[in-house]
């Protein structure tokens, strides 16, 4: 009994706050359905590592962290599953949509400039990549740059991904007029040959890696997953990558990221600043895509609905669906889904390349 009371006596304010944060993550995952596949294991892992003298922190969670996060293995394996889920067909039928994916990464570099005022270069670069709206990329870059804020960065990245339906609509409405939101974009159904679908991930991998070698692993694993999907001879493997592999790695990822969720590492004034900068990155990304579309409309005869520019962030497919839903709210006959999804998948590629650029500069 003395030992029991002795252990309880070691619960400090920091541990209690972190237990509450872990409980909050679990609540958001279950009650609000905010990225439950990651926030639930991360929240429960936070409980495990903040118990005084926890053998989970010094044993299995540390081992998982060293085996899958410290060497970036888990995020890269997750990219295989993500790649297998993505259909690049809408993008291949209208390749110019790639421009919007690139434009929507502006928030990363804007936030990098702001974060560098308060943080060391590597930490600032890691925080900026929250704007990629891509959790695995955020984790991979933060670990590669050895940031001391992996926990807060991960929480910010996935929290804001889940809050895309809350963050994006006000920004889009603020930057567009009703007339612009009513612009219709007819979609012509075009068939994409199997050869094109197979060659696309191969070409993207070779070209992007040749230009930015530091992006080879990130873009390569994503495109490999897509190649499994499109090759037509590995259907069972593609299904496994989309479901079993992606879900299993997400569980391990969430629990092992909790290694950085101790009170010593998380309860710092910088954590609130990171959350604020992450929000700024998401807002500026959204604004960048919308404003780029408005710029193009100055020169185009057939106007683009500027709302689709907001789908250029990597939060797939949430952002694309939100733009489509907003289009229907303005005009029940305005179907923007295929255009917005095409922009959305281009944002997936652009965010990974942006992560490679960050690594190329600061790695």
Tokens of 39: 């926030």
Note the pTM of the prediction, 2 decimals.
0.86
Domain positions in the chain: 2-362
pLDDT at 249: 92
CA–CA gap between residue 326 and residue 338 (Å, rounded): 14
Rg, the chain, Cα only: 21
pLDDT at 3: 58
pLDDT in tens, 239-298: 999 999 999 998 998 898 888 888 888 888 898 899 999 999 989 999 999 999 999 999
Residue 255 gets the label, from left (phi > 0), alpha (psi -120 to 50) or beta, of alpha
Low-confidence spans in the chain with pLDDT less than 70: 1-7, 9
pLDDT at 231: 94
Interacting residues of 318 by C-beta distance below 8 A, sequence separation 6+: 161, 164, 165
pLDDT at 215: 84
């Amino acid at each position: 009994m003395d030992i029991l009371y002795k252990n309880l006596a070691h619960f400090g304010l920091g541990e209690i706050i972190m237990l509450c944060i872990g409980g909050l993550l679990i609540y958001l995952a279950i009650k609000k359905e905010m990225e439950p596949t990651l926030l639930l294991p991360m929240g429960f892992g936070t409980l495990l590592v903040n118990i005084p003298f926890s053998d989970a922190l010094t044993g299995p969670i540390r081992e998982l962290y060293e085996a899958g996060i410290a060497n970036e293995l888990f995020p890269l394996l997750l990219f295989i599953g993500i790649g297998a889920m993505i259909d690049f067909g809408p993008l291949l039928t209208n390749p110019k949509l790639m421009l919007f994916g690139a434009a929507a990464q502006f928030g990363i570099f804007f936030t990098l400039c702001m974060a560098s005022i308060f943080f060391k270069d590597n930490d600032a670069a890691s925080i900026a990549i929250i704007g990629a709206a891509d959790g695995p990329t955020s984790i991979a870059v933060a670990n590669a740059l050895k940031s001391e804020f992996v926990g807060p960065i991960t929480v910010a990245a996935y929290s804001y991904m889940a809050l895309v339906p809350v963050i994006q609509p006000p920004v889009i409405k603020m930057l567009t007029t009703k007339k612009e939101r009513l612009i219709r974009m007819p979609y012509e159904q075009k068939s994409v040959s199997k050869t094109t679908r197979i060659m696309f991930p191969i070409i993207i991998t070779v070209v992007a890696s040749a230009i930015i070698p530091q992006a080879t692993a990130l873009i390569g694993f994503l495109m490999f997953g897509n190649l499994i999907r499109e090759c037509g001879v590995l259907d069972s493997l593609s299904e496994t990558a989309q479901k079993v592999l992606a879900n299993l790695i997400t569980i391990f990822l969430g629990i092992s990221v909790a290694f950085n969720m101790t009170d010593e590492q998380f309860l710092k004034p910088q954590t609130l600043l990171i959350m604020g900068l992450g929000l700024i990155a998401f807002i500026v990304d959204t604004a960048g895509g919308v404003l780029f579309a408005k710029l193009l409309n100055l020169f185009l005869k057939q106007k683009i609905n500027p709302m689709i520019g907001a789908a250029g962030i990597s939060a797939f497919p949430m952002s694309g669906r939100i733009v489509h839903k907003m289009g229907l709210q303005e005009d029940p006959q305005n179907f923007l889904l295929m255009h917005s999804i095409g922009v959305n998948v281009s944002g997936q590629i652009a965010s990974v390349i942006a992560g490679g650029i960050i690594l190329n500069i600061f790695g």
